[in-house]
Structure 1
Amino acid sequence: TLRHYGEIDALLRHHVKKMPRLSSLARPLLAIGAAQLIYMNVPSHAALHETVSATGRREQPYRGLINAVLRNIARAQEADKLPAPDPLLNLPEWLKENWLDFYGPEKTAAIAASLAEAPMLDLCFKSAAAAESWLAQHGAQYKGEAVGPTHIRLHDSSDVTALAGFTEGDFWVQNAAAGQPAAQLIAQISAPAHVLDICAAPGGKTLQLAAAGHRVTALDISKSRLQRLAEN
C-alpha cells in the first residue's frame, strides 16, 4: 500500500467526490483495499469483505462508501479501464522536483519505477558452504543467485517461513549490502575474537560474527529492538 500510495490516492480521488477526513481510518482502509485489488492479486470478493469487515465503530458511517468505491475499482479493473501506472505519483513532490532537476525526466521515471517494485529477498547463511549447498538444492525453484560468499538473493519468494531451512535456523533475512560491514570485519580478524556490536538489532551482524566463530557482545539503544534480536 505504501509503495504505491501516490497512485492509489490518485485513483481513490477519481472515484470519491469527498474523501473521508484525515483522522478517519476509512482513508487507509480504502487504500489497503485498493492495494489488495490492484497489486496483490486478491480476489475482489475477498478484498471487499476483509476491508469492510475491518471498519470499526468510528468508521461505521463509511462502510457503504468503502464497499461502493472498491466495487467500482474492481469493475474498472475487470474492464481494463484502470489508469496506466505512474510511479512518479508515489514520490513526495519535493523529492520528485529535486530528482527531475538533477537526473532529468527519464532517469527519474526509471528510479520511481524501481522503487515501486517489490524488493527481492536476501538470505544470509552461516557459512559459504551452507549457502552454496542451499543454492544448489533450491536456487532454481526460487530464482536464486549468489550475491556474496554467504548471501543468496531470491527473485521469486514471498513467504520466507516456507523456505527450506528456515525452521532449522540455517539462514536469516539480511540485505546483502547490510551484511558487508560484518563480512569485511570477519575477513580482517581471526577467530576467536571478542567483538562489540553497539548497534546490534535486529541481529544480522551479530549472527554473522557469531557464525564465524567470534564471541559477540550485542548492544542496542532500544530495549524493544534488543528483545527482537533475542527472538531472532
Structure 2
Amino acid sequence: MAHPKNPNKREKPSESSGKSETPGFAARKIAADILGNVVHKRRPLDAELDLVSGHSGFRELLYNDRALVRAILGVCLRHRGEISEIIERLLDRSIPEKTGRVLDILHVGIGQMLYMEIPDRAAVSLAVECASSDRRARPYKGLVNGVLRRLGRETEQATSDLDSAVLNTPEWMLESWSGSFGLDTAKEVAIAHQSEAALDLTIKDGTSEAWAEKLGGVVVGAGSVRLAKKGAVDKLDGFEEGAWWVQDAAASLPAKLLGDVKGKRVADLCAAPGGKTAQLAAAGADVTAVDISKGRLKRLSENLARLQLSADVVTNDLRAWEPEEPFDAILLDAPCSATGTIRRHPDVPWLKQAYDVETLSVIQAQLLRRVMGWLKPGGVLVYCTCSLEKAEGEDQIAGLLAESQELELVPVVADEIGGLSASITSEGYLRTLPCHPVTKDGSQKGLDGFFAARLRRI
C-alpha cells in the first residue's frame, strides 16, 4: 500500500520478542492499553511510561519494544483526530462496544499503517491478534480485520481531504488560539504539534558553539544547542561531567530576562524539574528553589548534583510559604495547562479541558499577587507559563498592572533572546509559538509555546 505523504513518518524501531509467540504482539497490546488509559481514563502519558511506577507491562518490555510502544503512542496521539475521522469513514455503523477497547486497537493499527514504516500485513495481523486476546474486543475481531484491510485497499479515499490541523486539535483549543493569534497562525501551531520536539541543550558555561560542533548540533535561540539526532541522553559527551542539561530553547528564555544575576538573591518559584534553577545557579545567583512536589524536587536536586551546582531547595506550597527576607529577583513559572508543550507531550490535547484553564488562571492570579510582595524595591519579577492560552499569560499581567501601582512592565527586547523578534509582542511580552523561528535568520523553526512578562517593583 502506498502511504500518504507525511513529513512526520518515523522509522520503525527494531523489535524484540514479547510474551506472545508472535514478535511484536506484546508491544502492540501494551500500546493499546496505554492509549486507552490516556484517552478514556485521562492518565498522563509520562506517568504510564514511567519505568518505576508506570504501566507494569511497559516496564517489563525490553528497550527496543519500549521504543516501539513510544513511537506508536506518539503517532496515535498526534494524529488522533485524523484516525478517528478515517475510522468513521470506514465503518458502516458505530461500534457498540462501550469500553473503547476496539477503537484503541484500531487506532494503534491505523497509526502504524499510515504514519510508520510498518508493513500493512503486520499491522493488520497484530491488531486482529490483539482483539482476539481481549475478551471485550474478541467479538469484534472480524470488524477489526475488515476495517484495516479496507483501509489498505482504499487508502486514498479514506485519507483524502483531511484537515489535520482542525481534526487533531480539540475545538476549544483551536477557538482559543484563533481568537488570540488568528486562524492562520492557529493552524500553523496545530500543524507544528504533529512533529516531535527537537532535543535542545543548555550549556552550563555558555560555550555553545564548541558543544554544537562536538555533538553535531547547531546553536539556536539565545545559545541553546539543538541536536540533529536523538539518542540516549546519558550516553552523550558531556552528560557525566555535567556540561549541559536538556531544556527546550523557549524554556531557557524566561531566566535570561532577569539579566545579570551574579551575586543576587533570586527565587525560582514552582522550580521543578529545575532547568531554570540550573540556569540561575550557573549564572552565579544565590538561588532559592521552591516547589510543592517533593518527588519533582528530588529530580531537581539530582540534576543539580550532576551539574555540580547548588541551590537552597524548599518543598512547600507558595500560598503558605514565606521567605525570610525579600529577593533581588523572582522567576515565577506558574502551574498551567501546558498547551505550549504539545510537541513533546502529545497527550495534552486529550487530557485538558477549557475548565482546566479557568481553574489554573485563578491559582496563577493568587500566586502573582502573593509573590510580588517578596521583591525588594527595584527588584525584577519574571512571570512565565508554558501555555498558549492568553488567560494564563497576557490577561494575567494586564489584570495585575491594572490594579497595582507597585509594578511596571519592562518590555523584552530582541537582543536578550537571541534576536527572535517574532516572539516579542507589541506590548513587550515574550510569546513563543511552536511555529516560530528558533534562529535569527529564520532557517529553523520549532519552539515550545511560552509566555513571559518582566515586571519591576517601583
Fold-level similarity (TM above 0.5): yes
Partner of 2:114: 38
Matched, 1:182 2:234: no
Matched-pair identity in %: 39
Partner of 1:209: 280
Q: How far did residue 197 of structure 1 move? A: 2.3
Q: Within 5 Å, which residues of 2 pair with 1:11-30? A: 11-17=86-92, 18-19=94-95, 21=97, 23-30=99-106
Q: One-letter code of the match for 1:200?
A: A
Quick one: distance in 2 between partners of 1:184 and 1:100?
Answer: 28
- The one of 215, 220, 230 equivalent to 1:138 is 215
Q: Within 5 Å, which residues of 2 pair with 1:149-164? A: 149=223, 151-154=224-227, 156-159=228-231, 161=233, 164=236
Q: Which runs of 5+ in 2 are unaligned?
A: 1-75, 304-458
Q: One-letter code of the match for 2:106?
A: L
Q: Mark the CA change 1:123 to 1:13 in structure 2 (over 3 Å): closer, same or farther.
A: same
Greater alpha carbon shift after TM alignment, 39-48 vs 158-167: 158-167
- SS for the counterpart of 2:251 is coil
Quick one: distance in 2 between partners of 1:94 and 1:23?
Answer: 25
TM-score (norm: length of structure 1) = 0.73
Partner of 1:5: 80
- SS for the counterpart of 2:297 is helix
Q: Which has the higher helix share?
A: 1
TM-score (norm: length of structure 2) = 0.41
Q: How far did residue 57 of structure 1 move? A: 4.1
Aligned partners of 2:261 and 2:283 also within 8 Å: no
Partner of 2:191: 113
Summarize deviations over 1:188-207 as a string: whole Å, max 9, x none. Answer: 2214x554322112221122
Partner of 1:127: 205
Aligned residues: 223
Quick one: distance in 2 between partners of 1:224 and 1:49?
Answer: 41
Q: Which runs of 5+ in 1 are unaligned?
A: none
Aligned partners of 1:160 and 1:166 also within 8 Å: no
Quick one: distance in 1 between partners of 2:276 and 2:107?
Answer: 36
- SS for the counterpart of 1:118 is coil
Q: How far did residue 7 of structure 1 move? A: 1.0
Q: How far did residue 101 of structure 1 move? A: 7.3
- SS for the counterpart of 1:188 is coil
Q: Mark the CA change 1:9 to 1:208 in structure 2 (over 3 Å): closer, same or farther.
A: same
Q: How far did residue 71 of structure 1 move? A: 3.5
Q: Within 5 Å, which residues of 2 pair with 1:45-124? A: 45-48=121-124, 51-52=127-128, 56-77=134-155, 82-87=159-164, 88-96=166-174, 106-124=184-202
Q: One-letter code of the match for 1:145?
A: V
Aligned partners of 1:197 and 1:219 also within 8 Å: yes
Quick one: distance in 2 between partners of 1:70 and 1:231?
Answer: 46
Q: Mark the CA change 1:29 to 1:219 in structure 2 (over 3 Å): closer, same or farther.
A: farther
Partner of 2:358: none
Partner of 2:427: none
Quick one: distance in 1 between partners of 2:219 and 2:290?
Answer: 32
RMSD: 3.5
Quick one: distance in 2 between partners of 1:216 and 1:53?
Answer: 55
